[in-house]
Amino acid sequence: MSHASIVADSTLLATWRARPRSFVALMGLYESNYTRLGWLVRDVRDLEGEHRSVVKGDCELVLTVTDRGPYTATFTLTYRLPDREAPGVAFASAPDMSVRVYHDARLAEALGWAPVHEHEALRQLRSGVERELDQRWARNTMLNKWLEYCVERGHRFPQAVASP
């Protein structure tokens, strides 16, 4: 490649940049989810069944593997919250997210979450999203921020790596 073509390339506008809330940007969010999930557990492929993380001063965090394949793993991730109506007896789960990890692509996608939320902030995040792309943005933005919050609170699952 000649010097002239390198200089000419450097003046071209980048066309690969993702527009906010676009499909390409959503894939970037999935990559970020995968990274943050790695702060909680090194490799979901190593997990089976249910795992709990208990941190003083925070709710119990539960990860339950529901499906494993050669290229993907699906699990639920939820907080177990004491039920206000039956203290010390029952538990509620929130946000009760279903997550699929694509191992080779290094992506983590929030597939779904509880259909009804008691917390106003979660209800607002869900409301007003009609397009599938917007729904995916809402779920995965929530997962992204929640994973980071859980790590900051000190949660880890077996074989977890240190947070950044």
Give tens-digit pLDDT for 29-40: 999 999 999 999
Distances (CA, A) of 41 to 76, 132, 162: 14, 29, 9
Reported pTM: 0.74
Helix (H, G, I), strand (E, B) or coil at 81: strand
Per-residue pLDDT band at 46 (split at 50, 70, 90): confident
Nearest to 95 by CA among 29, 131, 49, 140: 140
Residue 138 near residue 129, CB atoms below 8 Å: yes
Per domain, the residue ranges of the chain are 18-153
Give tens-digit pLDDT for 80-136: 877 666 556 556 667 789 999 999 999 999 998 765 555 555 555 555 555 677 888
